Structure formats: structure tokens, C-alpha cells
Structure 1
């Protein structure tokens, strides 16, 4: 399976990290030069999805989307049915090569398979399909952030290119957020346990590679006023709790389960 890694020209340390990670699991990869938001502040002037309201996307967030679009273009022009895309701060599980070596384990109807975990609660279907080597896949039913690692079909890559031709949104909202139209048009699966995770979410196991998007994103949130905390009235708190109970009942009836996706053991690292 073709593996693409998004990497900024100024992030040679992260490229070295990815060479070590892919070398550790014995898989080849192709580097895709990332679009640098620092060099293209004009990206903020491009149209963005109306669902963001007053929260303007940062140039780095939009550049991240364009970097993923560069990968989709490569896969859309290729002959392979599936390809894998990674950001340059992921850490792989020890047996990642078993799944990246071929695509025979991918469900026939899958458009996208999320390979990573963000260690945040999400919802997946209770029914799972074995992927072999101790992994399984289940349909993803709720937003699970992050685009650090995922498999995408050639057709889905073409569809996402078309969907983002004239408008911008964050890459993980586009792919993994049910609030956006692209979600309903794709069959999206979650790999369990995850095959990789971004270094920033690994806690005491992290190597010290923070997100390159956080600063610009936080500045835009502050400027929008959306980070200002307000005291919720009791009626709103009650309504939220009732909503949670209703969601739990619906998930139970639809054979869904709430869970935090674990990460398969990364194994020893140099």
C-alpha cells in the first residue's frame, strides 16, 4: 500500500522521526511537501465553511487541508484502490506493517479507515470485522478528531478534492465530523486498537513534538470570543444531562458503544 507522509520543508527533525518510525516497522513511504501556513498568510482570506461562524480558520489550519489535498491528488491519479496518509508526528504500533503491507483486510465498502486514536471518547458500532493480527474495524459513528493517520480509497480522495475545491474547513472536520456533509457520503471505519497516534497525545510516552497548528488556532478562537466561559443556567444543565441520557439510549438501541480507542503497543523505539 502506498504510504504518504506530509512534512514541512522546515521540519527536518520530524522527517527524521518518520524515517525512523517507518524504518522500525519496515515499510517504505513517500514524502509529500506540506503547504506552509506561515509562508501563506493569504490563505486566511479564502472562503471557509459557514458552520464555523465567527471563528476564522488560521492559515496553518487551511494549509493543513491543502497538504492533505496534495495527498488526495496523488492517490486520485493512481491505480491503487487505497492509499495511506500520515502526518509527520505519528508513532506506530509495533505490528503496523502487518496492515500497511496490503489492503486485503479493508472492508469492501470502506471509503476511509481511521488508523489513529486521539484518546478521546467516540462511538463505534458494536459489530466489528476482524482485520487480523489482533486488529478489527468497526463503523465510526461520532466525531473522532485527528488526521494523523488514515486510509482512503481512490474514489473518496476524488470526492474530497471536489468537496474542497472552493471552500475550506479543517481536515479532520471534513473527514471525521458527522456535522459536515462529507461524512454521510462515506463509509468510515475505525481501526481497533489504533495503529498509530500523534506524539502530542502520548503523554509521558511523547517525544516532544507539539502540534504545529495549536498557536494559530487558539489565536483565532480567542479573537472570535468563543473561548469566553459563561455560566450555564440550571435549566440548560438539566437539558444537557437529559440529552446525554437520550443519546445513550439511542446508541444502545442502535448497537453502538462509547469508547476510547486504545493504541496497540508501540514497542521499543530508538
Structure 2
């Protein structure tokens, strides 16, 4: 669990949830972007447009990834200190991770996106493991595999906030899955510690890179799934203009996405 030393209220918030839901956690002292350690400064270019808070957040997630690799962990669940966990989170997380294929990198638990998702398999009667055609910009709660941690630590320009960077998954060949509906939400009552992330900055890569990303995504999720999702995005966008309601379609897998197995229902 990533937590700034000065954020005692957030630490208490997570500690209370851990006691209630019955899990233990390890605290990773978050990096303060105003006082970046020298060994981390080289990770971010001098002309980086991210604010200090966003740089500190990114650096903190690098520390978490580093711990996964250094300890040779098969995976770890990474929480930010404003994660609000739903009842059943522990069992759903275990079941979802067990259902993933061997080559997964990320599993998002806070899948608060706006685009259609593609069901890979069901976990219980209410939740599914899904793939995204456009990943949510949120790193408040996710599982990170050893494979994914090594990708995250690879030498590369770090020029965007980490949650936005993950959206352009093709640039790192990230295999990102999610639990849908979300089993974690971001607690909005805390004052943000990531102000000035780069207001007004366009984080997208070049148009050519975005075009390549569409082809990568089609290959990842399958042609039929991709275009079914795109169609439902158009339908739901039109409906939103009419009634103002945001809808997210769940596309039944039409292209045979590979989950290792259909898992048993989680306990509780």
C-alpha cells in the first residue's frame, strides 16, 4: 500500500478496511515529488511536463514494481491510500487472479472507464474478468504480475502520469485486464496529493502511434470483439445525449479470448 509519511489519515483509512476485510498489507512509503531521491531523478526527463505530485506518484509505483521483482513475487496487489474496497474484495481478487492467463501484466480492480468492455470469463454471478479497448486512467487498486513489473521498470521515457501512461498499453505491450463492475472506488473526500499533474497538457502520443495502437488493440481483443465494442460505444454515446445516462456495455466474447479456466464462484 502506497502512502506518504504525512498522510496519517489515509493510512488509518486503509488500516481500518484491512482489519474489517481480513487482510494484511505492507506499507510502501510514497515518494514526495518535491524531494525526489537522486537515484530516481534519472527516471524522469528534465523537460517532463508532469507536476511534482504526479512524478512522486509515478516514482512510488516504480518502488512497488521494484519490490515485486526484487522479491521474485509472482504478483502483488498494489493499493493507493485512498482506495475504498467493497465487501468481498479479497475473495473476488483471488478468484480473478486465478482466472487470468499466464501472460497477464495488470489486473485493474477500479475499472471506472466509460468505454465498452469485453468479458473474458465470469467470476461469480455479478462480476467478470474483462479486457479493455480503452483502459481506464486509474491506478488506485490493481494486481501487478512479476512480468508486468519488469515491463514497468524497463528503461523508457516517463513523460506522463502513470495512470495515463498505462492507457497507451501497446507502447509497452502491457496485457491489462480488469474486474467489472469495479470492486474498488477512489475515495474522493481526501484532498488530492497529486495536484498540478500537467493541466492542459495533451498526453497522447503521435497520431501515427495512436493508429498503431488501434491495430495492437484489435490483435489483443479480437476483430469481432473490437468492432462490437466500438458499435456499442456509439450506441451508448447517442443514448447519453438523449437521457444523460452513462452506460458501459459488456461484450460477450466473440473471438475466443484465452482465460486459463472458468473459475469457481468466490466465497462471500
SS in 1 for 2:98: coil
Does structure 1 retain, via aligned residues, the 8 Å contact 2:2–2:60?
yes
TM-score (norm 2): 0.69
Match of 2:244 in 1: none
* Alpha carbons of structure 1 residues 133 and 34: separation in structure 2 relative to 1, 3 Å: farther
Tell me, yes or no, if structure 1 residue 47 matches structure 2 residue 45.
yes
Tell me, yes or no, if structure 1 residue 193 matches structure 2 residue 175.
no
* Alpha carbons of structure 1 residues 56 and 21: separation in structure 2 relative to 1, 3 Å: same
Tell me, yes or no, if structure 1 residue 181 matches structure 2 residue 171.
yes
Q: Which runs of 5+ in 1 are unaligned?
A: 50-54, 201-207, 227-249, 263-270
Deviation at 1:186, TM superposition (A): 1.8
Number of equivalenced pairs: 212
Does structure 1 retain, via aligned residues, the 8 Å contact 2:107–2:144?
yes
| C-alpha separation in 2, matches of 1:261 and 1:196 | 19
| C-alpha separation in 2, matches of 1:117 and 1:18 | 19
Moved over 6 A (4+): 250-253
Per-residue CA deviations over 1:1-46 (Å, capped at 9, x if unaligned) read xxxx000000011000000111121111110000012334996994
* Alpha carbons of structure 1 residues 123 and 162: separation in structure 2 relative to 1, 3 Å: same
SS in 2 for 1:104: helix
Tell me, yes or no, if structure 1 residue 145 matches structure 2 residue 137.
yes
| C-alpha separation in 1, matches of 2:89 and 2:145 | 19
| C-alpha separation in 2, matches of 1:63 and 1:261 | 35
RMSD: 3.1
SS in 2 for 1:145: coil
TM-score (norm 1): 0.68
* Alpha carbons of structure 1 residues 27 and 45: separation in structure 2 relative to 1, 3 Å: closer
Instruction: Write out aligned runs for 1:69-218 (5 A).
Output: 69-101=62-94, 103-118=97-112, 120-125=113-118, 127-132=119-124, 134-164=126-156, 167-178=158-169, 181-182=171-172, 185-200=173-188, 208-214=189-195, 216-217=196-197
